[in-house]
């Protein structure tokens, strides 16, 4: 029972680690306009840092344009400031009611830089999974030391743990290949 509980908690943590890597990947600009590029930006809205997606309707009418329509028109200058500070490399323009972001195509050099950034994120995700494995393995070893489980149960638990790590590292690798392809296609 205790081994299953540890493995269940471990799997939950690993799922969250993979989801975190996936979220980070969505924030990487690929030359294609996507609302996810700006949804997570924090805007200083009346002195409170607020997510852009809570202040405006964000859409992408075509592959090179993002439109942001704030529900409160007085927030437009603050939204533009947040976009300028975000290092997206995109200059906003507005007509008083709508902010437009023209997403320029990426250069070959910038695409290669982004692939390196994505590889770094992937490695951080793998390290996170290995850390979760180490913590769970220590918990299994403690259960055996405290005579709660038998040595065989500990080894079975450690085998299951390794299978979970392999499964979730494979998930991250699939995400990496997909993101790499998305970045490199023109």
Residue 92 sits in the same domain as residue 161: no
What's the mean pLDDT when you consider all of the chain? 89
What's the start-to-end Cα distance of the chain, in Å?
Answer: 52
Q: What confidence category does residue 64 fall into, taking pLDDT thresholds of 50, 70 and 90?
A: confident
Sign of CA dihedral 146, 149, 155, 160: negative
Please count the structural domains in the chain.
2
Q: What confidence category does residue 113 fall into, taking pLDDT thresholds of 50, 70 and 90?
A: confident
Q: What's the CA angle centered on 69, arms 64 and 72, to 5 degrees?
A: 155
**Partners of 42 in beta bridges:** 51
Answer yes or no: is 18 within a domain: yes
Q: Find, among 32, 22, 23, 58, the residue nearest to 43 by Cα.
A: 58
- Whether 1 has a pLDDT exceeding 70, the answer reads no
pLDDT for 11-57, tens place per residue? 999 999 999 999 888 877 666 778 888 888 889 999 889 988 899 99
- Whether 186 has a pLDDT exceeding 80, the answer reads no
- Whether 77 has a pLDDT exceeding 80, the answer reads yes
Q: Token match 């220590």: residue?
A: 138
Q: Find, among 131, 126, 115, the residue nearest to 167 by Cα.
A: 126
Q: Label residue 46 exposed, middle or buried (CB < 10 Å: 0-12, 13-18, 19+).
A: exposed
**Partners of 80 in beta bridges:** none
What percentage of the chain carries pLDDT values higher than 70?
97
Last residue of a domain, one of 64, 79, 102: 102
How many angstroms separate the CA atoms of 87 and 51, rounded? 16
Classify residue 62 as left (phi > 0), alpha (psi -120 to 50) or beta: beta
The pLDDT score that the predictor gives to residue 68 is: 92
Residue 116 sits in the same domain as residue 50: no
The stretch 93-122 carries a mean pLDDT of 87
DSSP assignment letter at 101: E
CATH of residue 168's domain is 1.10.132.20
- Whether 117 has a pLDDT exceeding 80, the answer reads yes
The stretch 58-75 carries a mean pLDDT of 90
CATH of residue 93's domain is 3.30.1360.40
The model carries a pTM of: 0.69
Domain around 42:
36-102
- Whether 3 has a pLDDT exceeding 80, the answer reads yes
> Which SS3 state, helix, strand or coil, does residue 58 take?
strand
The stretch 153-167 carries a mean pLDDT of 94
The stretch 133-147 carries a mean pLDDT of 93
Task: Strand 92-94: give its sheet, edge to edge.
Answer: 56-62, 65-70, 99-102, 92-94
């Amino acid at each position: 029972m205790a081994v299953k509980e540890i493995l269940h908690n471990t799997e939950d943590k690993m799922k969250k680690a993979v989801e975190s890597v996936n979220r980070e990947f969505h924030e990487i600009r690929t030359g294609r306009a996507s609302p996810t590029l700006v949804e997570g930006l924090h805007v200083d809205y009346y002195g409170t840092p607020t997510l852009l997606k809570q202040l405006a309707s964000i859409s992408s009418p075509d592959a090179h344009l993002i439109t942001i329509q704030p529900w409160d028109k007085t927030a437009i200058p603050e939204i533009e400031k947040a976009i300028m500070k975000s290092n997206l490399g995109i200059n906003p323009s507005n007509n008083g009611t709508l902010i437009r972001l023209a997403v320029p195509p990426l250069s070959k050099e910038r695409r290669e830089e982004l692939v390196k950034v994505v590889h770094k994120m992937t490695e951080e995700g793998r390290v996170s999974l290995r850390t979760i494995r180490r913590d769970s393995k220590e918990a299994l070893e403690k259960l055996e030391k405290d005579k709660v489980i038998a040595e065989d149960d500990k080894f079975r638990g450690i085998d299951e743990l390794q299978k979970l790590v392999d499964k979730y590292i494979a998930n991250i690798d699939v995400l990496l290949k997909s993101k790499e392809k998305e970045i490199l296609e023109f």
